[in-house]
Amino acid sequence: MFACVPTRHDRTSRSSRPSRASGIKQPHSPPPPRGGRFRIAGSDLSASITVFLLAVPMSLGLAVAMGAPLEAGLISAAIGGIVAGLLGGTPLQVSGPSAGLTVVTAELIQIYGWRTTCAITIGAGLLQILLGSLRAARSALAVSPAIVHGTLAGIGVAIALAQLHIVLGGSPQSSAVANALALPDQLGRVSPAAPLIGLLTIAVLVLWPRIPGRIGRGLRRAPTALAAVVTATAVAAVAAPGIARVDLPSWRSHVLPELPQGPVLALATAMFTMMLVASLESLLAAVAVDKLSAASSASAPPAPPPGPAAQPAAPPSAATASAGPPPSAAPALPARRADLDRELRAQGIANVLSGLVGGLAVSGGAVRSSANVRAGARTRAATVLHGVWVLLATGLLVTVLEWIPLAALAALVMMVGIQMVSLAHIRNVHKHREFLVYGATITGVILFGVLKGVAIGIAVAVAVALHRLARTGITVTDQGGLHLVVVRGQLTFLAVPRLSRTLGQLPQDGSVVVELDGFFMDHAAYEAIQDWSNAQTAHGGKVVFTGRSGGRIAEPTSAADSCCRPWTPWRNHHCHDAPALLPAAPAPPQDTDAGPPEDAAPRTVPSACPAPTPPPDQGQDSAGGPAPGFRHSTGPMPVPHTAPRTAAHTGPGPRTDPRAGHSAGSRSEASGAGAAPGPRHGTGGHRLISGLSSFQRHTAPLVRDELARLAAEGQRPSQLFITCADSRLVTSMITASGPGDLFTVRNIGNLVPPPNADSGDHSVGAAIEYAVDVLKVESITICGHSGCGAMQALLGAGPEAEHPPTSLWRWLRHGLPSLKRMSSRHHAWARISGRLPTDALEQLCLTNVVQQLDHLRQHPSVARRLTEGTLRLHGMYFHVGEAQAYLLTEGASSGLDPDEVFDRVDPAEPAGPTGSDERERTGV
C-alpha cells in the first residue's frame, strides 16, 4: 500500500496514446466496453419512465403554445428520443420539442401554415446534417454566452406572455409585443375557471419540490410537471367539467408536409433561423449534460449526519458536481465526452424524419436531459426507451390525455418560459461586463424576432469589443522626482497620439517607470514607445518598463538564460549573471519591419538583471533589482523585506545552463531530493548526483554567504510547518521561503498524534516540543493537500476495519479520529469557501487538518503558549492540481468558532509583517 501518491482517475500515459497520424480519435475518457447487443440496465429503465412522465405533458404544452396539432408534439418527442438517442453523440441527452423553438415555430405556422412549416423543418434538418458533416459544431459555441442566454431569455419572455393569455382563458396574439398590448383587454374579460386551474398548476410546480419530511421524499420521486398536470386534471374534472381540454384528433386527419410555397429568400431565412436556434440549444444542452454525466458517473459522498451541525443542502447541480467515488467502491464507468458534430448530425436526421411524418422541430432539451441524468441513466438506452414509451402512449393513451385542461399545459409552459430568464446568467454576464449585449439581445428578440435579435446582439457585442480595445487609460504621477506612467488597457494605434503627447511632456533627463497593464500592443504603439525610450535614454534619462505586478519587462531570451527563477526566492539569491556583465543601455531595437509579437512590451534591459515577473509576495528592492529575499518574519508565513543585503554576492556567478532548468536549490526539500528537473530517465542515484552537481555549480555560490551566516548564528525559524511527505508538496515553493525560515516536519498524512497516544511514534511530539520551547516559534501550521494517499487509504478501509499490523497502519491509526469526525453528527463539515469539496477524499483531507489542530492543542507546550498569547495556530490546504492554497479561518483554528471554512488565498493580497484585515482574519 502506498501513502500520499497521486490519485489517478483513468488517465493513460502519453506514451500509450496513439499518434495523431494513426487516425484514431481520442475521446475525453476511455469509452465503455461495447457489447454485441443493445443492453438495458435497471437504472436505464427507471430513468426512461421518469423522463417519459415528464415529456408527455411538456410535449403537449409546447404544441399548444406553438399552435400546432397536438399529436405533432408527441411525434417529435418519440422521434427525438429514438432517432437522436440512437445516433447522437451525447448518449444521455433527451431530444424532443423545445421551448427555444416555440416562438419561431409559432410564427412560421401563422405565416405559412402547418404543412409548409413541416417542410421548413426538413430543410433545417438538412442544414444541420451538412454543418455536422463539416465539423462546424464547435464553431457554433464561439458565439458570446451573453448573446445565447439573451436569445433564450427573450424567447422565454415571449413564451410566458403568449401562454398567459391561455391561462386567462383567451388566445395568444402573433407576437410578444401584441401579447403585451392585448393583456389589459384580456384581463377585463377573464373567466374564473381557467385562471384558477392555471394558478393551481403553478402552485404545485413551485411547492412540490419543497414538501418536507419522509412523505415529501417519497412524493418527490414523481416528476414535478407530471404531479402538477395530474393534480390540475383531477381538480378540473370535479370543479370545472366544462373547461377547455386537450383535443387529440384522429390519426386519419393527420397531415403531412407539402412543398413550400412563398418567396425563396424568406423560406431560406426561416430554415436558417430554425436551424440556428435548434442547433445552439442542442449543443449548449449537450455540453451541460456532458458535465452532469461526468459528475454523476461517480457515487455521491456519504451524506452528512442529521442535526444542527450538518452541512446545508446544496442545489441539485452543485450536489451532482460535487459527487465523488468512495475509495472502497469499484471504479465507476467513465463518462464519454460529447461528440458535438455527431450530435448535430443526429439532430438533423431527427428533424428530417419529424418533418416528413408531420412532427414539430426537434432539439436537445436541458430540462428533460438533466432529469434523465439525475434519475440514474447510464447509457443511451434510457433515452431510446423514453421515446418508445411516448410512441406507445400516442396510440394507447389518447382517452387519458384528452382529460388534461389546456390551462394546465399553458401554465406549465409559461413556467418553463419564466425559468429561461435565469438570474444566475444575468449575474454572470453583469460580472463580466456584458450586460449591455445581453440586454440588447433580449430586447431585439422580443421586439423584432429571433434572427434579428441575434443580429442585434452580435452587432452590440462587436461594438463593445471594439470600444474596450480602443479604450486606454494613461495617468502620470510624480513621486519625488520619479515619474510613474500607468497605461491601463490595450495599446493600439488609436491610443498613440495621446500616449506620445503624455510621454513627450516628461522631463527628458528624468527617471520614468512605465507600468503596462494590458495584453496587446500593435506595431504603431510599439514603435512610439521604443522611439521615446531611445530618445529619453540618449538625453541621460532612465526608463524602466514593468507589468502590473511590478516585475520588469525585459529581453525574453537573456532573462530566460541568466536570471533567477520565480520559484527560488531565497534570501540573497541573486541572478546568475553579475550586473557588471549586462549592458547599461537599452538593447537595440529589433527589426522594425518585422514588428514585435502581439503581446510584446518594449525590450529594455536595465542595468541590473531583471527577474521574471515575480509572485505578488516576491517584490523588488528600492533600486529596482531582484528582491533581496526573505528574513524571519513575525507571522506564520515568511514575508519579503527591503533592507539592504547583508551578504551580497560578489563577483559573477556561472551562467545558467538552459538545459538544466531551474536551479537545484529550489528543490532542497525532502520532496525533491535536489534532483534537477526534466524528463524522468535514468536511475534515482543518477538524478540525485546530477541534482547535487547542479546545486554546487549554480546555487551554492549564490547562497554560500547566507548559509555561512546561518551556520554561525544558528537557526531562528518563525514557524513550525507540519505537512505531508508527498513528493509533490514543495514547502519552500508554496510558502516562498528559504533556509532558516521554516522548521518543517513531514510525515505520511500530516498527522499529529495526541501526547498521550500509547505505543505511538513520538518524533512528531519531540519536534513540536523542540520548536515551541527551544526555538520559540511564533506560529504552527498544519498543511494538508489534495489527493492524499494516506487519507485515501483511511477512507477505503473505514473506521471499524481490521488493519494489518504493519508500520504504515500503526501510523495511520492516528488519522482515524479524522475519519470519525467527518461522519459524526456533532461536528460541521469542513469546507472550502466558494465551493463544495469535490469528493469524499477532499472532504477528509480538509477535516484531517481541523482534527490534527485539535490534537496539537493537547500538547502541554502548545497549550501553555496559546494561553500566554504568544503562539498562533493555522490550518492550510493546498490543492496540487490548481496550485492554490486555502487557509482555515482564524476562529476555527483557535477553537473560538465552530465554522470550519478554508478561505482561498488571493494572489493580490499585500505581503508584509502586518498585512490587511483579511490577512489577519485568515492568519496569513
Options 609, 724, 783, 845, the catalytic residue: 724
Contacts of 305 (CB under 8 A, 6+ apart): 823, 824, 825
The phi, psi pair for 570, rounded to 5°, reads -75, 155
Q: What SS3 state is found at 95?
A: strand
Q: What is the 3-state secondary structure (H, E, C) of 525-572?
A: HHHHHHHHHHHHHHCCCEEEEECCCCCECCCHHHHHHHCCCCCCCCCC
Could you give the angle at the alpha carbon of 741 between the alpha carbons of 738 and 744, nearest 5°? 95
Options 483, 576, 603, 785, the catalytic residue: 785
Nearest-10 crossing angle of helices 406-419, 42-66? 100
How would DSSP label each residue in 152-195?
Answer: HHHHHHHHHHHHHHHHTTS---SSHHHHHHHHHHHHHT--SHHH
| CA distances for 207 relative to 195, 674, 832, angstroms | 18, 62, 31
Do 785 and 726 form a contact (C-beta atoms < 8 A)? yes
> Within a 10 A sphere around the Cβ of 338, how many other Cβ atoms?
27
Could you give the angle at the alpha carbon of 122 between the alpha carbons of 413 and 370, nearest 5°? 40
Q: What SS3 state is found at 139?
A: helix
β-strand partners of 563: none
β-strand partners of 782: 722, 875
Contacts of 700 (CB under 8 A, 6+ apart): 665
Q: What SS3 state is found at 284?
A: helix
Q: Return d(Cα 784, Cα 850) in angstroms, integer.
A: 10
Nearest-10 crossing angle of helices 42-66, 70-79? 150
> Within a 10 A sphere around the Cβ of 256, how many other Cβ atoms?
11
Q: Where are the beta strands (DSSP E) in 710-859?
A: 719-724, 742-747, 779-785, 831-832
Active site residue 726: yes
Q: Return d(Cα 142, Cα 150) in angstroms, integer.
A: 15
Q: Return d(Cα 419, Cα 205) in angstroms, integer.
A: 12
Entry field: residues in the chain: 924
> Within a 10 A sphere around the Cβ of 369, how many other Cβ atoms?
24
Options 4, 609, 788, 845, the catalytic residue: 788
User: Residue holding cell 536511475?
Assistant: 683
Query: Quick one: 138 exposed, middle or buried, by C-beta within 10 A (0-12, 13-18, 19+)?
Result: exposed
Provide the 8-state DSSP code for 331: P
Contacts of 215 (CB under 8 A, 6+ apart): none
Strands 542-546, 511-517: pairing is parallel
Q: What is the 3-state secondary structure (H, E, C) of 622-686?
A: CCCCECCCECCCCCCCCCECCCCCCCCCCCCCCCCCHHHCCCHHHHCCCCCCCCCCCCCCCCHHH
> Within a 10 A sphere around the Cβ of 921, how many other Cβ atoms?
14
Q: Return d(Cα 155, Cα 727) in angstroms, integer.
A: 54
Options 728, 803, 813, 904, the catalytic residue: 728
Cell numbers given for 492: 493600439
Q: Return d(Cα 311, Cα 321) in angstroms, integer.
A: 16
Do 912 and 905 form a contact (C-beta atoms < 8 A)? no
Options 290, 617, 726, 903, the catalytic residue: 726
Q: If you compute the radius of gyration of the chain from its CA atoms, what whole number of angstroms results?
A: 34
Active site residue 522: no
Active site residue 785: yes
Question: What amino acid positions are annotated as catalytic residues?
Answer: 724, 726, 728, 785, 788
